[in-house]
Structure 1
Amino acid sequence: MSLPVYARYRAAFAGAIAEALGMPASDVEPQVKPAEPAHGDLSFATFALAKAQKKAPPAIAAALAQQVKVPGLEVKAVGPYLNARFTLLPFTAETIDTVRTEGLSFGGGDEGRGKTVVIDYSSPNIAKPIAFHHIRSTVIGHCIANLYRALGWRVEGINYLGDWGKQFGLVAVGFHEYGDPARKDDMAHLVEVYVKANARAEQEPEFDARAREFFRSMEAGDVAALELWKQFRETSLRNFERVYARLGIHFEHIEGESFYQGRMEPVVEEVGQRVGVKESQGALIVDLPYAENEPPILLKKADGSTLYVTRDLAAAVDRHERFQFEKSLYVVATDQALHFKQFFRVLNALGWPFASKLTHVNFGRVHGMSTRKGTLVLLDDALDQARELALEKVRQNIQEGRIQTRDAEALAEQIGLGAIIFGDLKHNRTSDYTFDWEEALSFEGHTGPYLQYAHARTCSVLQKSGGAPKAYDASLLTLPEEQALLRELVRLPMAVRDAAEQYEPSLVARLLLDVAAAFSRYFTAGNQDRDKRVLVEDEALRAARLVLTDATRITLAAGLTLLGIPTPESM
């Protein structure tokens, strides 16, 4: 697959500058940036050259403007900057033809071919439901997986369940005290039991000790304990799978910490031999220098039970053996930064060559999510509420003639999902954000429903006209609004690559907002000037504008699909 249109022009511009300066193109290309729209599309600042050339930056830019010639670019100096603007042709035709040829694959590529990325995301605990705060790891991880797939990588997505540890002991002994044997398959009942058991353990050390003892019996291979664990695990998985199906998320692997039961002792022994271990208050810790007040890295508790880091070490070794990954990503909250810092530190101390390929993709917290009753909600409940609120808006818009749909409830589900998912992904990954129902479900502003409406609007225009023709005259798309829209469409492939490299879905989310806003300006320009309407009487002009509308539809659909957001065709 060839370079994306924008990247190709950028590389050609950088190459011509490099040739004129006698420099490697690889040194120049990082310095080519997007220009201010009033001055062009690409820009190269000459400040860094002033000292070596002993000239003022504007003089250097003026001299370069005489030397740099690139087909398809108008090059000129603007003060200390060398700017380039895409010419109407072939840029217009290249952009539209690329979008329409690639379809929903637009934005992707094949540069990841032959490489594997392992992505550990979502990862809820069994015997607990998926709470709304799991939305971050789930949708960020899913989007990153989509981005890498789009770029040709083999993606091994792992839902690494918290299905081992003392918390399961709490559920087990709690079920003995409070559970109904007839409701072992009832997730809601397991949650009730866990809440009661956890509260009691905080008040009664003896009850907490019973939970720990139950977990020790699991690690020792007690048949009855493991059978109960298996039943509760399967109940949780059935509940999880229903939520994931609703979100349109599929994992290549659903595993858990239990997967490494029996595989941790060799890792502990290797740490002891190659790094060193020592006892501290009966626990086994990694013998490394620690910063002041830094907690030690525990491999085993005093009672001999294992911990997260022990299991993560075993998992890292296993995943590298199974997948031979180029990257291994852990999409986990910033709250766990110390855990991953210490985990990676042990891997590096062991000298394992793949240690440098692991990355903690951290994210901030979400605040403000509550039901109408003001209580913290589960993810499934939040999706239900989003659908209900969206349905109110859909029905109101149907009555007012602003929305047309044959299935209001199905559309409400799509809008609700778009509101929740985009409400998360539009924010910088590492930032906290506050969820607001009214904002998330608005059809205006920086929201999922706004983007879905923009996509539906393009579909509506095409449906009314009978679709976009194959043949068109790109030279007719001369309006400033048309050229501005094209300059947003052409950016999707670069946004996808930047988002994958930085593990930052918000880069794609923001680009889609720019595309939708540019299309809205273009489409509504026809309200003030009939000659700017898409469906004009001139057949050739109408055909060109329908093709541009189709390219916009494809770009929005491709981007929304990468984000994991449904793309309704009418609303």
Structure 2
Amino acid sequence: MRIKEEFAHVIKQQLEGQWDRRKIEWMIEKPKHEHMGDLAFPCFELAKAFRKSPKMIAEELSEKISASFIEKVEAIGGYVNVFLNREMITTEVMAEILAAQENYGKAIFGNGKVITVDFSSPNIAKPFSMGHLRSTVIGHSLSLIAEKCGYNPVKINHIGDWGTQFGKLITAYRLWGDEETVKKEPIKELLKLYVQFHEEAKENPDLEEQGRNWFKKLEEGHEEAISLWTWFRDESLKEFGKIYDKLGITFDSQAGEAFYNDKMKRVVELLEYKGVLVESEGAKVVPFEGMPPCLIKKRDGSTLYATRDLAAAMYRQKKYGFAKSLYVVGSEQSLHFKQLFAVLRKIGCEWEQGMAHVPFGMMLKDGKKMSTRKGKVVLLDEVLEEAVYQAMKNINDKNPHLEDKEEVARHVGTGAVIFHDLKHFRLHDVEFSLEDMLTFEGETGPYIQYTHARASSLLRKGRFNDSQQYTSAMEDSSAWPVVVSLMQFPDVIKRSFDAYDPSQVAKYVVELARAFNHYYGSVRILDDPEQIQSRLSLVHSVKIVLKEGLRLLGMEAPEKM
């Protein structure tokens, strides 16, 4: 039951003029204190249109509003506050969850349209560091949330396998590399060579020119350059695959930048045909007003990120016919995407309106950005291994006879790392802290997973039969905050998608877990034979929603911990 939607509809019926129901719904708040009601509608924006004070408008509206789901209406200051019919709401919300199961909160506004989600996109020949975690888990969660909203997500891993850095790496390997050493630990050794190149280049600037020349040879199909590049790419994809397996992430496409090499010439020709490409100091650019020009071709004829991303956007539109296309890429690339979308608009690609850059803050270490070229990275694989180790240690201390404890430790440890990232609003920077990540209390993944396991345990002990319909109203007043939280889940999913913000789901599951644990601590759920079925129906509802919330974040929900 979407109460905010229903309440917005009731308010709209009482308002004169073209007040949009969706805007009314967006304006509805939750009162700061429980004694002030369950929902509140602020009347301040209406004051100008009605030429009355917000307080007077609230008083007039409160006298007109009535609905079966509303118990009482009060005008408090400039707000219309409503108290919901708890018995009716509890019955309907739980009946809806128990009937829908994991489909509770599913929306259809996506109408089966395609949404491409470009995320993760690590560079080959470099380790998968904690710096790559943000794009990976945010993008994966958004693709799951989009699917929940009725879209058909296409998950794209746009591998960074092209560019001047590969000319630099080839130069470094030819100068200092050893084939046997690289074969033993490819990513570790290639990173060492990449870091050495930048250290040596400080004293010998000619190395930069050598790097550019080898990339030019790579673009021209030079046999040795292609052979080394292919080797570096194959080894990298093997290592990346191990990380994605641990995170439970799959992709529909892993076509990297190099895939678009044969498609860029047509992009340049199209830009010339449309008359938007001009020459500037020997390079070719698309100029704009109020924004730096978009560089399409360098003076030496080599291509850039923008050229490849234009080719990729056109290819994806032709292949998938997307309605929306998301790029989950760090905030530092905001100008690049503004330019990319502006070029597409300039040449008349109307489908550009469905494209969006989803920026996020940096993963910091000691307050500073992690840097691959300086060798200052924390490897994601090592963090995941440590997290799983700590989870196993915790299980051995507290529940050594737990069944399948290796699998549970993997789910809990990996979930701790994912949740630590996703609980932050994506635009905020995140300070890397292994200690905070692995805390098994408070606003953490393990806390949510443990709450789910606790609910599962109660259902087993109470021999809950989910085929039996919930019939009786609960007499537990402490259950109401849990019901209110359950009722909010569909709205949270919609808001998360609209804002491209998985942290709203993460914060929601924390609130639901807290409400449930408070209920668990104040009511002996299994002790009253007359109330046990209705109480367990509530427990089962919580279990369903917690599990689905965790799934939308890309996490598992263990039955036992």
Q: 2:556 maps to which residue? A: 566
Q: 1:153-552, aligned counterparts within 5 Å?
A: 153-182=151-180, 183-184=182-183, 186-289=186-289, 294=292, 296-368=293-365, 376-398=377-399, 405-471=402-468, 473-525=470-522, 532-536=523-527, 538-552=528-542
Q: 2:544 maps to which residue? A: 554
**1:338 positional shift:** 1.8
Which SS does the other structure have where 1:231 is aligned? helix
Q: Closer, same or farther in 2 for the Cα pair 1:218/1:77, shift >3 Å?
A: same
User: Matches of 2:266 and 2:110 in 1, distance apart?
Assistant: 34
User: Matches of 1:266 and 1:150 in 2, distance apart?
Assistant: 37
CA deviations on 1:31-84 (whole Å, 9 max, x unpaired) are 333344322222223344455556554444343333222112224123232222
Q: Which moved more, 1:556-565 or 1:407-416?
A: 407-416
Alignment check: 8 A CA contact 2:294 2:339 kept: yes
**1:150 positional shift:** 1.1
Q: 1:19 maps to which residue? A: 13
Q: 2:29 maps to which residue? A: 33
**1:351 positional shift:** 2.4
**1:96 positional shift:** 1.1
Q: Which moved more, 1:347-356 or 1:136-145?
A: 347-356
Give the residue type in structure 1 aligned to 2:268.
Answer: V
CA deviations on 1:116-158 (whole Å, 9 max, x unpaired) are 1111100000111211110000000000000001111011111
Unaligned runs of 5+ residues in structure 1 are 526-531
Alignment check: 8 A CA contact 2:116 2:325 kept: yes
Which SS does the other structure have where 2:326 is aligned? strand
Q: Closer, same or farther in 2 for the Cα pair 1:488/1:474, shift >3 Å?
A: farther
User: Matches of 1:339 and 1:38 in 2, distance apart?
Assistant: 50
**1:235 positional shift:** 1.1
Alignment check: 8 A CA contact 2:470 2:537 kept: no
User: Matches of 1:468 and 1:367 in 2, distance apart?
Assistant: 48
CA deviations on 1:161-210 (whole Å, 9 max, x unpaired) are 11011111222232223333344473333333333334334432333322
**1:342 positional shift:** 1.9
**1:376 positional shift:** 3.3
Q: Closer, same or farther in 2 for the Cα pair 1:276/1:470, shift >3 Å?
A: closer
Q: Which moved more, 1:180-189 or 1:77-86?
A: 180-189
TM-score (normalizing by structure 1): 0.90
Give the residue type in structure 2 aligned to 1:283.
Answer: A
TM-score (normalizing by structure 2): 0.92
State the identity as a percent.
36
Alignment check: 8 A CA contact 1:103 1:558 kept: no
CA deviations on 1:476-501 (whole Å, 9 max, x unpaired) are 31322111101101111111110011
Alignment check: 8 A CA contact 2:87 2:473 kept: no
User: Matches of 2:198 and 2:80 in 1, distance apart?
Assistant: 65
User: Matches of 1:559 and 1:369 in 2, distance apart?
Assistant: 31
Alignment check: 8 A CA contact 1:88 1:475 kept: no
**1:236 positional shift:** 0.8
Alignment check: 8 A CA contact 2:130 2:378 kept: yes
Q: 1:104 maps to which residue? A: 102
**1:472 positional shift:** 5.0
Alignment check: 8 A CA contact 2:464 2:533 kept: no
User: Matches of 2:545 and 2:484 in 1, distance apart?
Assistant: 12
User: Matches of 2:279 and 2:57 in 1, distance apart?
Assistant: 67
CA deviations on 1:327-386 (whole Å, 9 max, x unpaired) are 111100011112112222222222221222221100001223799xx9631111111121
Alignment check: 8 A CA contact 1:164 1:258 kept: yes
CA deviations on 1:234-289 (whole Å, 9 max, x unpaired) are 11111111100100001111011111102112211222343433444432222444
Alignment check: 8 A CA contact 1:512 1:556 kept: yes
Alignment check: 8 A CA contact 1:16 1:68 kept: yes
User: Matches of 1:331 and 1:469 in 2, distance apart?
Assistant: 40
Q: 1:528 maps to which residue? A: none
Alignment check: 8 A CA contact 1:309 1:343 kept: yes
Alignment check: 8 A CA contact 2:330 2:359 kept: yes
CA deviations on 1:425-484 (whole Å, 9 max, x unpaired) are 001110112132232222221111111111111111112222344335554313221111
User: Matches of 1:115 and 1:34 in 2, distance apart?
Assistant: 33
User: Matches of 1:464 and 1:395 in 2, distance apart?
Assistant: 23
Q: How many residue pairs get matched? A: 549
Alignment check: 8 A CA contact 2:201 2:208 kept: yes
Which SS does the other structure have where 2:12 is aligned? helix
Alignment check: 8 A CA contact 2:119 2:158 kept: yes
**1:19 positional shift:** 2.3
Alignment check: 8 A CA contact 1:472 1:543 kept: no
Q: Which moved more, 1:82-91 or 1:318-327?
A: 82-91
Is 1:148 aligned to 2:139, yes or no?
no
Q: Closer, same or farther in 2 for the Cα pair 1:473/1:220, shift >3 Å?
A: closer
User: Matches of 1:414 and 1:234 in 2, distance apart?
Assistant: 28
Which SS does the other structure have where 1:38 is aligned? helix
Q: Closer, same or farther in 2 for the Cα pair 1:201/1:468, shift >3 Å?
A: farther
- Taking only aligned residues, the RMSD between alpha carbons, in angstroms, comes to 2.4
Alignment check: 8 A CA contact 1:160 1:255 kept: yes
User: Matches of 2:329 and 2:363 in 1, distance apart?
Assistant: 13
User: Matches of 2:252 and 2:346 in 1, distance apart?
Assistant: 30
User: Matches of 2:167 and 2:511 in 1, distance apart?
Assistant: 50
Alignment check: 8 A CA contact 2:276 2:347 kept: no
Unaligned runs of 5+ residues in structure 2 are none
